[in-house]
Structure formats: structure tokens, C-alpha cells
Amino acid sequence: MLLALVAGGCSSAPNATATPTPTTSPVVASSSPTPSSVNGETPVPQQILAPAPDLPIANLCSAPLTTTADGNATPLLCSTGAVNVQAWRFYASVSASVLGIGLNPTQGQVENAICDDIAHNHATRPEEASGYKLAATYYSWSFNLDPAKVTCP
């Protein structure tokens, strides 16, 4: 329509204007904090977190981490039960196999991923228990599995 007006042609629409209509709405930030942001936790938009191949089933959040004497970091989850993106990134290298296994593994595949992380990524049992908890929440697994009791070859 704009091309026809500029080129001197006629338009079939009465009272046509040259002003384009925006196709997206602007994002408006809220000035009031969400309940979770009071504790230093903020919601995070859904996204695939590496090394995961899929979008999470769980919600995501961001909260500051505290490292512990055994090499772990907390909190893994925010007070809402959402996966803490900072914790996921912290465990992404040592628990890469279990974090990257995907939505529908068998319990045996998860056990093999745990053993792979211990053998090749140098995850300790406490670290792998945390990685497993993150993955189980992210993918919404319902296995009755204790990573500390998985027997690795």
C-alpha cells in the first residue's frame, strides 16, 4: 500500500496512510517485585540449558549460589521449586551426562549417565547427587533412584 502511494498509484483502501502498524507489542517491565525476587530469586524465561537437548518441563529461576566444603553449590532449586539456572551452569561440566540425557530415558540410561559422569567428568558422589536432582526436576523424571547407591563398573 505504501509503495502504491509513493509511486503515485492508487490504493483500493479508502483513507490509506503510510504509517506502518507495529506487529509486536512492546515489553513493559513491572516495577513491583515478584514474590520470588524478594529472596534474591528471579524467574527466568523457558529456554534450553546446555547440555540439555530439550526445553525444561520445570520452571527456571536464578538465585545466587553458595559453595559448600564438599564441592557442591546451593540452592539447586528456588523456593518455588524452579530449577536454579546458576546451579545448572555450575554442574554442567561435572554432571554433563546426566544433565544432557533428555526427557525420556530409562532408569538404566540414567544410571549409566551417572557412572559416566563419575568416571569421565570426575564428578564426586555428592556432586552427582546434585546433578541428578537438577536433571530430575528439569525433565520431571519420576524414578526412585538414589545416585549414591548406583553401582558403577
Cβ(131)–Cβ(123) below 8 Å = yes
> Residue 67: which of 91, 39, 50, 45 has the closest Cα?
91
With residues binned 3-state (H G I as helix, E B as strand, rest as coil), the percentages for the chain, rounded to 5, are 35, 10, 55
Q: What is the pLDDT of residue 21?
A: 39
- Residues 51-95: tens digit of each pLDDT: 999 999 999 999 999 999 888 999 999 999 999 999 999 999 999
| Domain range list for the chain | 58-147
Q: What is the pLDDT of residue 37?
A: 61
**What cell numbers appear for 147 in the block?**
545416585
Residue spans of beta strands (DSSP E) within the chain: 42-44, 60-62, 66-67, 73-74, 83-84
Low-confidence ranges of the chain (pLDDT < 70): 1-38
Q: What is the pLDDT of residue 39?
A: 75
Q: What is the pLDDT of residue 151?
A: 95
> Residue 87: which of 122, 129, 117 has the closest Cα?
129
Q: What is the pLDDT of residue 71?
A: 84
